[in-house]
Copies of this chain bind each other. A is one copy, B any other.
Amino acid sequence: MKKRVTIQDLAKELGTTPSTVSRALRNHAAISKSMKKRVIELAKKRNYQVNAMASGLRVGKSKTIGVIVPRINRDFFSNVIAGVEDISFESGYTVVICQTHDRFEKEKQYINTLIGSGVGGILVSVSLETTTFEHFDEVNRLGIPLIFFDRVSTNSSINKIQNNDKVGAYKAVCHLIDNGYKKIAHFSGPEHLNVYKDRKDGYLEALEKNGIAINDAFIVHHDLKIEDGRKDMQRLMESKNPPDAIFSSSDYSALGALLYLKENGFSVPNDVGVVGYSNEKFTALTSPGLTSVDQHGSEIGQYAAKVFLEEINNKGKKVPRTIILDPNLIIRNSSNRKLDK
């Protein structure tokens, strides 16, 4: 169990000093070509690996980006992460992935851990349970670049990368209306999260614009899990006035609804239309395929990383950026009804 090779070891072996080696390794302008060559060759030969803790301690931060997401096994978030990795890799940043499992406490802990580990910046999509944002104060106080994506803080003076969820929902509901559905219910999540609020607004606007009265009984708030969708679909279908379509803010509760309907003899899309949100991979595999809204995960991740790099480069200047993408409706058979004219 030998010790790791340090800059000192290299300097000694080359008959020079740590500062020169350090500069050579980082391609400093003042170092001669020949010295750089010697240093880099020896470093490779000795399998030298820069000690990120020492370097980070010295410069006050490390070359890592922390990404905090609710869950990594959602296609949207894993696409975001891949997008972040693409961009940050080119600039020599390592991505540290943290999943909160939608718990507020976990989110706070990760923020503190990331601060403590000296991350260069933090990209975050907040947990379902997050209603307050004081835990980000310290990040700002320390001047650590902070970029929200998807589920963002309502504070306007922050960096955020979002989908236009209202437009996504609007497109989805108009599509249902175009297919002849008139009694469209909606599964929504906690309203303190912008994404669910905006999708609900899109739903409401689509109904209004098309002259369809809003029925409060058709608006259901739950945690958007498969079982939530199943249970609430059952409740709605067993009610006196059942809906003829469901627009869910999540593919998961849409899936629950779809499963309930199929298991109970309803035809989808003929009896009931179903539309989800996020375009999870499984939406292409259900029978019928589940219409959904694609959120450009990879692009969101790339933008988030780019905004981070901008912040790093314009250090000092604070010009919060907001980037909003228009999501795409992906039409599958769960909502594609043959209209009987």
The residues of A with any CB-CB pair to B shorter than 8 Å are 1-4, 47, 49-54, 56-57, 62, 64, 71-73, 75, 78, 81-82, 85, 94, 96-97, 99, 101, 112-113, 115-118, 138, 141-143, 255, 281-282, 285-287
Query: Are B52 and A118 touching (Cβ within 8 A)?
Result: yes
Question: Judging by beta carbons under 8 Å apart, are A1 and B141 in contact?
Answer: yes
Q: Given A53-B57, A78-B73, does the pair A2, B141 have CB atoms closer than 8 Å?
A: yes
- Tell me the bound Cα distance from A72 to B78 in angstroms: 7
> Contacting A72 at CB < 8 Å: which of B53, B81, B94?
B81
| Chain B neighbourhood of A287, CB < 8 A | 286-287
Task: Verify A115–B49 contact, CB threshold 8 A.
Answer: yes
Given contacts A51-B57, A57-B57, A64-B117, 4 further A-B contacts (CB under 8 A): A52-B118, A82-B99, A96-B96, A285-B286
Q: Which residues of B contact A50 (CB under 8 A)?
A: 116
Residues of B contacting A85 in the complex (Cβ-Cβ under 8 angstroms): 99
- Which of chain B's residues have a CB closer than 8 A to the CB of A112? 49
A117 and B2 within 8 A (CB)? no
Which residue of the partner chain B has the closest CB to A137? B47
Contact partner, A53, options B62, B71, B282, Cβ 8 Å: B62
Which of chain B's residues have a CB closer than 8 A to the CB of A82? 99, 101
Choose among B4, B73, B142 the residue that contacts A142 (Cβ–Cβ < 8 A).
B4
Bound complex: CA of A112 vs CA of B285, how far in Å?
Answer: 39
Question: Could you tell me the distance between the alpha carbons of A138 and B94 in the complex, rounded to whole angstroms?
Answer: 20
Q: Chain B's nearest CB lies how many Å from the CB of A30?
A: 25
Which residues from chain B contact A142 at a C-beta distance below 8 Å? 1-4
Residues of chain B with a CB closer than 8 A to A71's CB: 78
Q: A96: which B residues are within 8 A, CB to CB?
A: 96-97
Q: What are 29 contact pairs spanning A and B, CB under 8 A? A: A1-B141, A3-B142, A4-B115, A47-B138, A49-B112, A49-B138, A50-B116, A51-B57, A51-B116, A51-B118, A52-B53, A52-B117, A53-B54, A53-B57, A53-B117, A53-B118, A62-B117, A72-B72, A72-B81, A73-B78, A81-B99, A94-B113, A96-B96, A96-B97, A97-B97, A282-B282, A282-B285, A285-B285, A286-B287
Contact residues in B for A115 (Cβ distance below 8 Å): 4, 49
B53-A143 in contact (CB<8A): no
Which chain B residues border A47 with CB–CB below 8 Å?
138
Determine how close the nearest CB of chain B comes to the CB of A301; give it in whole angstroms: 13
Nearest residue (CB) in B for A138 is B47
Alpha-carbon gap, A72 to B80, bound state (A) = 12
